[in-house]
Amino acid sequence: MFEFELIKESKECKARLGKIKTTHGEIETPIFMPVGTRATVKTMTPEELKELEAQIILSNTYHLYLKPGMEIIEKAGGLHKFMNWDKPILTDSGGFQVFSLSNNRKISEEGVEFRSHIDGSKKFLSPEISVDIQNTLGSDIMMCFDECAPYPSSYEYILNSMNRTTRWARRCKDHHKNVDNQALFGIIQGGMYKDLREISAKDLVALDFPGYAVGGLSVGEPLELMNEILDFTTDFMPKNKPRYLMGVGSPDYLFEAVERGIDMADCVLPTRIARNGTVITSKGKLVIKNAKYKDDFTPIDDECDCYTCKNYSRAYIRHLFNVDEILALRLATIHNLHFLINLMKKIRESIKNDTFMEFKDDFYNKYGYNKIRREF
Amino acid sequence: MFEFELIKESKECKARLGKIKTTHGEIETPIFMPVGTRATVKTMTPEELKELEAQIILSNTYHLYLKPGMEIIEKAGGLHKFMNWDKPILTDSGGFQVFSLSNNRKISEEGVEFRSHIDGSKKFLSPEISVDIQNTLGSDIMMCFDECAPYPSSYEYILNSMNRTTRWARRCKDHHKNVDNQALFGIIQGGMYKDLREISAKDLVALDFPGYAVGGLSVGEPLELMNEILDFTTDFMPKNKPRYLMGVGSPDYLFEAVERGIDMADCVLPTRIARNGTVITSKGKLVIKNAKYKDDFTPIDDECDCYTCKNYSRAYIRHLFNVDEILALRLATIHNLHFLINLMKKIRESIKNDTFMEFKDDFYNKYGYNKIRREF
């Protein structure tokens, strides 16, 4: 089962309110999806994610394919049971990771041969294998095997890559077995070239996927360029299907994406920077492990009502980072995930009330507009 | 406020049931105390400790003195507030740690000069300074500054050390300011020499502390020798005051200690071995990170009702260890702490019903008596 209901379109911009129904529950959009690369959102239990009102998490085909391997996930009865998470899961295709292994992979029409980053052993991923893996994982939303091309790339490179991604998308669709319970999304590529984005979008829309992602953005290009390409691309995406911008997770990028009609986004950013001692607050980012917080007994963010901010001071969290305690990573992760999940909740509320643009301006003014660009 | 009520003495052995009342709540004894060295029980939140029914935790004077330092704890309003734990805390004196720095410390009658293990800076601890620190920490139970002598040590070494520990105990008592809210315990030393244990116990009992610890045991001597010395020593300890055996935390040592009249024990063992991938079960220990559990979908212990065993398989936990995920450390820690806390609960029940010796035999038979000795 997979349905998308478009509840409302903003009067101010292309922002939308929607609801996705999956076998494992409903998802209100726009949404930020925490990343659980290796069958766990780093430092968190499933119950804690639910307390934060995480509606869906993302997990990674490449990593799970290597460890623990599909034999174990299959015996466990799928990824949900294996990791004790009964809400929706989205899995990527593994494409992003294997294409990142630039010195250790060989691309052909058939797929990508690569060496495992763990033990150097030879492996192979193709559209069919990626779909098989995701069928075994049992994710509610699967992604087509694609190439997320680097930035900058030549027109010719992107043209070839994009067309192959489209051919691979067709193979993914043809190979996908569990269509009733797992929705396979197509991924629009085309780099920073509008004509290629248009072709990619139209070709994939013709294949009639239940949802579409915009890939190949937020890969190092300026925010203005991302905004321009995204704005252009979403106009070619069906209104009655969910739209997912891959790899975006800082507050400003989320605002810009939603404004341009995006319903879903994911990124390791909030959890990764948390473990490095950086927290997101309504007044900008804050490096909590810095010595200047050693006797600051206020919470990370005095406007925040997360578990961390309700119970712990900056001084205590700074101490925990200073002595390498695991609780530091947990408290910072809880705060950052809460910040983004709660931000998306407020964004949904503002779309409902047609106050999204005002909410965005207010947020930027407080957060610090100049500080906001590519700050992480 | 500090009171100890002796509720019952076993008809079978020297085991006792008791209740300690402190400013931060009551403690049913016999009890195992989880260790939170640096103002956090590693990987755990205070709420999780309460869910495990931890009644009191231990924290370390030496570590907190160095980081974050007393100025910060004082500004925070004490250790309870700093770390968000409102139940009882016991602090050690710092003696164990500074005496362990065998190449970096100088002992005099006044105290111990040592170099910080963190930055090599020169520091000094004395009975008075240790008491001052513990007064600032605001722990419910404080320990006298003592030497925990190594095993083996000569009679002469132990005699001198033990007498100095007694002189230091007197200085601690004289210097202790917050007697209404913080109970200062004396520590009986004397190594493996019964006559010295007797002298130490009698000298300290004469100083009339509200509770007594047995120190200098479980330092590498055979279990049989520990049992003999402990059995001998507890006979010289007042019945109407709590008795604390320091540094003991494997199931067999806890049984042996309780049988000989001990009310309290602490050890880093359950939390430390958990982080190394070893879990305690009713059928003995289990190295959960081993490959043989990779497709074992049973819980760690099928008789256990902890959060970990109710929700996760050995295969999943083994996977988490295998890919260095923090959730692995959390789940193993929860299980091990639950095992010991729950064991002490069952021990209390068995003392109440005068079935302690039967319970001990049953436990040993199942756990594996031969495996049990010094296995960690």
**A123: β partners:** A114
**ipTM here:** 0.97
Question: With 60 as the cut, is the pLDDT of residue A371 above it?
Answer: no
B319–A67: do the CB atoms touch at under 8 Å? yes
Contact (Cβ atoms closer than 8 angstroms) between residue B88 and residue B27? yes
Contact (Cβ atoms closer than 8 angstroms) between residue A316 and residue B83? yes
- Which of residues B353 and B116 earns the better pLDDT score? B353
Residue to mutate among B271, B323, B329, with most A CBs inside 10 A, is B323
- Which of residues A24 and B119 earns the better pLDDT score? A24
A327–B68: do the CB atoms touch at under 8 Å? no
Question: With 90 as the cut, is the pLDDT of residue B356 above it?
Answer: yes
The shortest CB-CB distance from B72 to any of A43, A75, A315 is to A315
B326–A42: do the CB atoms touch at under 8 Å? yes
Question: With 50 as the cut, is the pLDDT of residue B375 above it?
Answer: no
Q: How confident is the model at residue A369 (pLDDT cuts 50, 70, 90)?
A: low
- How many angstroms separate the CA of residue B171 from the nearest CA in chain A? 32
Contact (Cβ atoms closer than 8 angstroms) between residue A68 and residue A359? no
SS3 content of chain A, % helix, strand, coil (to 5): 45, 20, 40
Q: Residues A276-301: pLDDT tens digits?
A: 999 999 999 999 999 999 999 999 99
Residues from chain A contacting residue B45 (CB–CB below 8 Å) = 327, 330
The shortest CB-CB distance from B295 to any of A43, A72, A313 is to A72
Distance, in Å, from the CA atom of B79 to the CA atom of B69, rounded to the nearest integer, reads 11
B10 sits in which H/E element: none
CA triple A159-A165-A170, angle to 5 deg = 130
SS3 content of chain B, % helix, strand, coil (to 5): 45, 20, 40
Residue to mutate among B37, B42, B66, B72, with most A CBs inside 10 A, is B72
Distance, in Å, from the CA atom of A91 to the CA atom of A269, rounded to the nearest integer, reads 17
Length of chain B: 376
Closest listed residue to residue A64, CA positions, set A92, A43, A45, A42: A92
Residues from chain B contacting residue A293 (CB–CB below 8 Å) = none
- How many angstroms separate the CA of residue A220 from the nearest CA in chain B? 28
Residues from chain B contacting residue A268 (CB–CB below 8 Å) = none
CA triple B292-B297-B303, angle to 5 deg = 100
B67–A40: do the CB atoms touch at under 8 Å? no
Closest listed residue to residue A328, CA positions, set B272, B45, B365: B45
% of chain A residues with pLDDT over 70: 98
Q: Residues A312-351: pLDDT tens digits?
A: 999 999 999 999 999 999 999 999 999 999 999 999 999 9
pLDDT computed for residue A271 by the predictor = 98
User: What are the b/e assignments for B40-57, b being 16+ CB within 10 Å?
Assistant: bbbbbbbebbeebebbbb
* Amino acid present at B134: Q
Question: With 80 as the cut, is the pLDDT of residue B370 above it?
Answer: no
Closest listed residue to residue A245, CA positions, set A233, A262, A227: A262
Closest listed residue to residue B288, CA positions, set B280, B375, A74, A43: B280
Contact (Cβ atoms closer than 8 angstroms) between residue A130 and residue A99? no
Q: How confident is the model at residue B369 (pLDDT cuts 50, 70, 90)?
A: low
Distance, in Å, from the CA atom of A259 to the CA atom of B348, rounded to the nearest integer, reads 62
pLDDT computed for residue B374 by the predictor = 44
Distance, in Å, from the CA atom of B206 to the CA atom of B199, rounded to the nearest integer, reads 11
Q: How confident is the model at residue A375 (pLDDT cuts 50, 70, 90)?
A: very low
Contact (Cβ atoms closer than 8 angstroms) between residue A237 and residue A30? no
pLDDT computed for residue B101 by the predictor = 84
Q: Residues A225-262: pLDDT tens digits?
A: 999 999 999 999 999 999 999 999 999 999 999 999 99
Q: What is the SS3 string spanning B273-292?
A: HHHCCEEEECCEEEECCCHH
- How many angstroms separate the CA of residue B82 from the nearest CA in chain A? 6
Question: With 90 as the cut, is the pLDDT of residue B79 above it?
Answer: yes
Task: Return the SS3 of B209.
Answer: coil
Average pLDDT, chain A: 96
By annotation, the residues of B acting in catalysis are: 92, 266
CA B72, B75, B81, B87: dihedral to nearest 10 degrees? 80
Listing DSSP states for A66-134 in one string gives: HTT-HHHHHHHTSHHHHHT--S-EEE--SHHHHHH-TTSEEE-SS-EEEE-TTT--EEEE-HHHHHHHH
A258 sits in which H/E element: helix A251-259
CA triple A157-A159-A161, angle to 5 deg = 65
Question: With 90 as the cut, is the pLDDT of residue B102 above it?
Answer: no
Question: With 70 as the cut, is the pLDDT of residue A31 above it?
Answer: yes
**Would you state the structure tokens that stand for residue A145, as one six-digit string?**
């095997």
- Number of other CB atoms surrounding residue A101 within 10 Å: 15
Tell me how far the alpha carbon of residue A131 is from its chain's centroid: 19
> What 8-state DSSP symbol labels residue B343?
H
- How many angstroms separate the CA of residue A278 from the nearest CA in chain B? 18
Residues from chain B contacting residue A63 (CB–CB below 8 Å) = 323
Listing DSSP states for B99-119 in one string gives: HH-TTSEEE-SS-EEEE-TTT
**Would you state the structure tokens that stand for residue A288, as one six-digit string?**
């909590």
Q: Looking at the complex, does the CB of residue A67 fall below 8 Å from at least one CB of chain B?
A: yes
Pairing of strands A2-9, A31-33: unpaired
Average pLDDT, chain B: 96
> Tokens 């931060």 identify what position?
B24
Provide the edge-to-edge strand list for the sheet that holds A2-9: A2-9, A16-22, A25-29
Q: Looking at the complex, does the CB of residue B330 fall below 8 Å from at least one CB of chain A?
A: yes
Question: With 80 as the cut, is the pLDDT of residue A370 above it?
Answer: no
Q: Which residues contact A51 (CB under 8 A, 6 or more apart)?
A: A307
Give the pLDDT mean for A59-85. 98
Closest listed residue to residue A151, CA positions, set A222, A245, A249: A222
Q: How confident is the model at residue B104 (pLDDT cuts 50, 70, 90)?
A: confident
**Would you state the structure tokens that stand for residue B125, as one six-digit string?**
């601890």
Query: Which residue on chain B is closest to A294 by alpha carbon?
Result: B72
Cα distances from B308 to residues A55, B108, B289, B338, in angstroms, run 23, 48, 15, 10
B76–A297: do the CB atoms touch at under 8 Å? yes
Pairing of strands B141-143, B89-91: parallel
Question: With 60 as the cut, is the pLDDT of residue B372 above it?
Answer: no
Query: Measured in Å, how far apart are chain A's first and last C-alpha atoms?
Result: 38
Q: Looking at the complex, does the CB of residue B312 fall below 8 Å from at least one CB of chain A?
A: yes
Question: With 60 as the cut, is the pLDDT of residue B256 above it?
Answer: yes
- How many angstroms separate the CA of residue A139 from the nearest CA in chain B? 17
Question: With 60 as the cut, is the pLDDT of residue A139 above it?
Answer: yes
Question: With 60 as the cut, is the pLDDT of residue B376 above it?
Answer: no
Residues from chain A contacting residue B313 (CB–CB below 8 Å) = 76, 82
Query: Measured in Å, how far apart are chain B's first and last C-alpha atoms?
Result: 38
Distance, in Å, from the CA atom of A349 to the CA atom of A353, rounded to the nearest integer, reads 6
Q: Where does residue B128 rank: exposed (0-12), middle (13-18), buried (19+ CB within 10 A)?
A: middle
From A120-129, A206-215, B98-107, B242-251, the region with the lowest mean pLDDT? B98-107
Q: Looking at the complex, does the CB of residue A11 fall below 8 Å from at least one CB of chain B?
A: no
B326–A322: do the CB atoms touch at under 8 Å? no
Residues from chain B contacting residue A295 (CB–CB below 8 Å) = 71-72, 75
The number of helices, as runs of H, and strands, as runs of E, in chain B is 16, 16
pLDDT computed for residue A101 by the predictor = 84
Give the pLDDT mean for B275-284. 97
Distance, in Å, from the CA atom of B126 to the CA atom of B123, rounded to the nearest integer, reads 10
Distance, in Å, from the CA atom of B71 to the CA atom of A48, rounded to the nearest integer, reads 33
User: How many contacts, defined by CB atoms under 8 Å, are there between A and B?
Assistant: 100
B75–A295: do the CB atoms touch at under 8 Å? yes
Give the pLDDT mean for A80-87. 98
* Amino acid present at B260: R
Q: Which residues contact A200 (CB under 8 A, 6 or more apart)?
A: A162, A165, A166, A188, A189, A190
Q: Looking at the complex, does the CB of residue A116 fall below 8 Å from at least one CB of chain B?
A: no
Residues from chain A contacting residue B330 (CB–CB below 8 Å) = 43, 45, 326
Distance, in Å, from the CA atom of A47 to the CA atom of B154, rounded to the nearest integer, reads 55
Q: Looking at the complex, does the CB of residue A85 fall below 8 Å from at least one CB of chain B?
A: no
The shortest CB-CB distance from B83 to any of A63, A316, A322 is to A316
